[in-house]
Amino acid sequence: MARKKFLTYILFFVLLLCFYMKNIFPQQNSTQKNLNLAVVIPVNFNPLLNQNPDMDNILKLIFEPMIKFQNEKPINNLVSEINFDGNVANITLRQDIFWSDKTNLTADDVLFSIQQIKFSDPNSIYYVSGENIVSAQKISKYELKIIFANSNFPSTYLLNFPVIPKKFFSDSNQNIKNLISDGAYKINMYKRQKNILLQKNPNYFGNDHEFETINIFIVPDYETKIDAFNQSIIDLIQTNSNNLGKFKTDANKIFYPTNQLEFIFFNPNNNLFNIDQIYNAVKNIIPIDQIIKKNNIETSCLSTKIDLIEQE
């Protein structure tokens, strides 16, 4: 089948965030095995209904996504194989993924997760992942089919949502202490409005992590979180350029790229951009460097330019 152009041009740049780390944060060969963090309320342990980006960072330690990004490209995580047939994705899950209670992650968990996303609030973190999903169907214990609304969109990127355990979140009498995890950590203790204690998940399929436990203080606002860091109550805090002056100068500082992106799209349905000369002319006159500089050059950088995405 002839190749079909479905997205003429994508440009985006990555906003750089900053982690401040206390000097007590473990360096190489350190013996510290515990990490202290803080999370701003509200606390919602369902990542698919959660609207709090701060809590989302914590939940990423507990739940793994279907796919991850590596060098800005999607790679399989809970999935062993994905095959696209038009707007239909045929997915085979890995059979070596276990919840912390030693039961397998299955297609039922994925279907339940998709249902949670589709009925979530538009302000929830992963709501956009469900907007292009029409339906999902179980084929077998480890196989499922997802039908997307638009075959002209790189739908693999939409599978970067965490999968949650159906048997826990479908139970109306949930006890957070019994929440099972497929991530690097699981909940050891939860005290409402006080703290969350995480410990290593012995059934985690990924690489071993440095810290045996992570203690997470629950705080009312970001200013309290900053104060906790400056008083050495917590070891690590995420921030941006607007708050850099609020931290003690003896803290270690690391900038890192994030998935907070700014996109420029050309409409693939506009035949004008199928004319190579016009497409290249418009592409080349976009002042990318000036856009980055105008939007705070110290906290953003050009991530990539994809001149053409094609699909069989």
pLDDT digits (tens, 9 = 90+) for 184-207: 999 999 999 899 999 999 999 998
Contacts of 305 (CB under 8 A, 6+ apart): 10, 11, 288
Render 3-60 in DSSP notation, one character per residue: -EEEE--EEEEEEEEEEEE-TTS--TT----EEEEEEESP--S-TTT---HHHHHHHT
Q: How confident is the model at residue 149 (pLDDT cuts 50, 70, 90)?
A: confident
Who contacts 100 (Cβ-Cβ below 8 Å, separation ≥6)?
A: 180, 181, 182, 186, 201, 202, 203
- Taking alpha carbons only, the member of 64, 79, 77, 33 closest to residue 181 is 64
pLDDT of residue 309: 42
pLDDT at 221: 94
- The pLDDT of residue 35: 93
Report, as an integer, the average pLDDT of 157-161.
89
* pLDDT at res. 155: 76
Distances (CA, A) of 93 to 83, 170, 216: 12, 21, 32
* pTM of this structure: 0.75
Burial class (CB in 10 A: 0-12, 13-18, 19+), 55: buried
For the chain, give the mean pLDDT: 80
Radius of gyration of the chain (CA): 21
| Confidence at 268, pLDDT banded by 50, 70, 90 | low
pLDDT computed for residue 312 by the predictor: 39
Burial 200-237 (b: 16+ CB within 10 A, else e): bbebbbeeeeebeebbbbbbeebeebbebbbeeebbbb
Angle at 63 between CA 62 and CA 68, to 5 degrees: 125
Among the ranges given (96-105, 154-163, 182-191, 254-263), the one the predictor scored with the smallest mean pLDDT = 254-263
Q: Which two tokens stand for residue 273?
A: 């951009």
Backbone phi, psi, residue 261, to 5°: -120, 155
Cα separation of 67 and 75, whole Å? 6
- Return the pLDDT at 217: 96
- Domains of the chain and CATH, by start: 26-234 (3.40.190.10)
Tokens of 60: 């990423």
Local confidence band at 306 (pLDDT 50, 70, 90 cut-offs) = very low
For the ranges 1-10, 158-167, 258-267, the lowest mean pLDDT is seen at: 1-10
Reading the block at residue 7, the tokens are: 């997205």
- For 82, 105, 127, 162, 277, the CA distances from 112, given in Å and listed in that order, are 19, 12, 14, 11, 47
Mean pLDDT of 4-15: 39
Checking if the pLDDT of 244 tops 80, the result is: no
User: Of the given ranges (33-42, 121-130, 132-141, 267-276), which has the lowest mean pLDDT?
Assistant: 267-276
d(CA 310, CA 152): 9
Cα–Cα distance, 248 to 20 (Å, whole number): 10
Compute the average pLDDT of residues 281-293. 70
Confidence label for 248 from pLDDT (cuts 50, 70 and 90): confident
Q: Is 192 exposed, middle or buried (0-12, 13-18, 19+ CB in 10 A)?
A: exposed
- More confident call, 65 vs 242: 65
How far is it, in rounded angstroms, from Cα 291 to Cα 268? 23
Beta bridge partners of 21: 236, 252
